[in-house]
Chains A and B, each alone.
Chain A
Amino acid sequence: MAAVPEELKITAEEYRELARKEKPPPPLLFNALTAFFSGGAVCLLGQVIQNGYIAFGFSPEEAANPTVVTVIFIASLLTGLGLFDHLANLTGAGTAVPVTGFANSLTAAALEFKKEGLVLGIGSKMFSQAGSVILFGVVTAFVVGLISALF
């Protein structure tokens, strides 16, 4: 960080304080409410799909996997149609936290880097957003699995 030039009658610390004050506060209540209702809507959709699979003859445990796949499919399709980013801007964490956000981050990266080729583009860069979720998810699952096997 460079020195503050003399024509500015302010120190770097004073300026950062001023900038902090002028930065609009995040709309916490709005964020929480939209996340609550949109997240609830995603879960409701998941439940409806799961009940559908159960009605088809799946057991409640068996129905979980095809349900997740279906929700991932819907989120990926919406991403491909160019709708998911607008939906996410409206819904915030409600669509980002469930598997919909994960599906979107994979599909968006795959779409973005398609032009750079199948191997070096899609193959390498598809996980640019979701890679750390997968890495730490696998590591956590391994540790938890180890603990549950030992005790």
Chain B
Amino acid sequence: MSKKAGQQSLLLDPAPFLSSAATVAGPMEGKGPLGGDFDLVYGDLRASQKSFEAAERKMLQEACSLALEKRSFNLADIDYFLSGDLLNQITVSGYSAAALGRPYFGLYGACSTLALVLSWGGILVAGGFACNVLAATSSHHCSAERQFRYPTEYGFRRPTQAQWTVTGAAAALISAAGESPRITAVTIGKVIDMGEKDSFNLGAAMAPAAASTMILHFQDLQRNPRYYDLIVTGDLGQVGAKLLRQLLARSGYFLEQNYNDCGLMIYNPAVQQVGAGGSGCACPGVVVLGHLWRRMKSGELKKVLVISTGALHSTTTLAQGDTIPAVAHAVALEM
């Protein structure tokens, strides 16, 4: 049976299988170094839809269909659809759930959503409450930019520490029976607020949450960073990743060559102007379920720890002078 380990972690036993994964990406992501690992790349940010919001929904639904197709699953085989995104009232997920017609858990965790849906999917399957769960997330540069910052065509010079919201969607099929990798453990994070107020510096706002969840993960499961072939955070970017290393070092954990950040992997910063790296739900979504999933399948990686981090502010709270709370969740994937 599944059991709680330590303060915040859960050992999933029998460990559910991440038996299928599919990713859809936008034009910039397709031109990045991982472009070849995405199942479908759109050259058009609108994906032939009337709005960016509709394009994001199309991408999410397409990622879901592709994940099912790969294992010849039908929608009827899915017990629950778990999804979340960045837009107000997580409308991308809600509208997609309407199109899919399966029982739906809508989860909001901002950019931590990937680990959130994988955790919950894993818990439902390991707990015997479901045989097959479809877990998905998405983000779109233009819909997120418009909601959180300025109109998309508004001109301004982006600060160096700003990150670039990834356009794309990712979906995973979590099953009681299937093929590895498996979700062996999850750590659910606390919400942490260190007082950061700069919405262009979310890496700094989220690094403490990532550090807290990673430390608890290692303590609860009596592991250290070397246990994993690769540890990836979702979208801390250059600034956040540096801060994370320093925070972990203070608690006696040292991240070495086996650490990376999805926001630093997805683009080619020498050619693509993306500031401090990628961000958004789709950033860890397409990197983990597109790129890393393939590397695990090929046997190159056996144990991967995914920590995705989310900033839980809104434009209203920031305009009223409040600080940015953040959360991080961790998911251990093993072959």
Contacts and interface: CB of A to CB of B under 8 A. Distances in A.
Interface of A: 1-2, 4-5, 7-10, 12, 15-16, 18-19, 22-24, 26-27, 31, 79-80, 82, 84-85, 87-89, 91-93, 95-96, 101, 104-105, 107-109, 111-113, 115, 128-129
Given A1-B193, A22-B239, A23-B239, A9 B251 contact: yes
B283 to A, nearest CB: 20
Contacts of B156: 85, 88-89, 96
8 contacts: A5-B192, A15-B208, A19-B207, A85-B154, A108-B153, A109-B151, A109-B154, A129-B151
A16 to B, nearest CB: 6
B157 A104 contact: no
Interface residues of B, number: 43
Contacts of B212: 5, 7-8
A2 B193 contact: yes
Interface string B164-207: 00000000000000000000000000111111101001001001
Interface stretch (B12-20, B56-64, B79-87, B241-249): B241-249
A104 B161 contact: no
A130 to B, nearest CB: 10
A2 B189 CA distance: 14
A10 B153 contact: no
A23 B155 contact: no
Contacts, number: 123
Nearest to B53: A115
Contact of B158 (A15, A23, A89): A89
A24 B212 CA distance: 24
A8 B151 contact: no
Contact of A26 (B159, B193, B196): B159
Given A2-B192, A19-B239, 10 more contacts: A8-B215, A8-B247, A9-B251, A10-B208, A24-B161, A27-B160, A84-B155, A89-B158, A111-B152, A112-B146
